[in-house]
Amino acid sequence: MVFWKIYFWVSVFFLGLWHFNHGFSQSWDSPLIEMISVAMTAVALAGVWAFGRRVKVGGRVFWRIFFTTWCVWMPYYYVTSQITSRVNIAPYVFCFFIGEWAALLGVITIMGVALHHYAFNRGEIWE
């Protein structure tokens, strides 16, 4: 469980930077999309924190519904935000784009694993 505690703080750092640099600094057509993403990220981070500490936060049904919603929302948000923010990038910037995308994908994938375990596999937390 030490991994998940460390991962929580690393993901807070990376996702905080992501939302600050790519969300609030961009001119979005809909700030509502950005607010939903920040709220989803905050709830997901709460789930990772609870999973790492093996404590109950909310109910198991909530986390199952949230996990399913999160699996649909996060790919939609990150792909659309990348497409809208990178329409006119220079070719030499593309390598940074790939590195940033790979790091973000890693953070999000590991977060999904933690949320899945928290919602579906860790019965001892919920008993």
**Residues 17-25: what's their mean pLDDT?**
66
Q: Which residues of 101-123 are buried (b: 16+ CB within 10 A; e: fewer)?
A: eeebeebbebbbebbbebbeebe
pLDDT at 45 over 80: yes
- Three-state DSSP class for 101? helix
Q: What is the mean pLDDT of the chain?
A: 80
Closest Cα to residue 118, out of 37, 43, 55?
55
Per-domain residue ranges of the chain = 2-126
Q: What is the pLDDT of residue 125?
A: 82
Closest Cα to residue 62, out of 9, 115, 113?
115
Q: What is the pLDDT of residue 82?
A: 61
Q: What is the pLDDT of residue 83?
A: 61
Q: What is the pLDDT of residue 81?
A: 66
- Which two three-digit tokens encode residue 85? 């923010």
pLDDT, tens digit (0-9, with 9 covering 90-100), for 49-66: 999 998 898 888 999 999
Q: Where are the beta strands (DSSP E) in 1-127?
A: none
pLDDT band at 104 (very low <50, low <70, confident <90, very high): confident
pLDDT, tens digit (0-9, with 9 covering 90-100), for 109-126: 899 999 998 988 877 787
Whole-model pTM: value is 0.79
Q: What is the pLDDT of residue 85?
A: 59
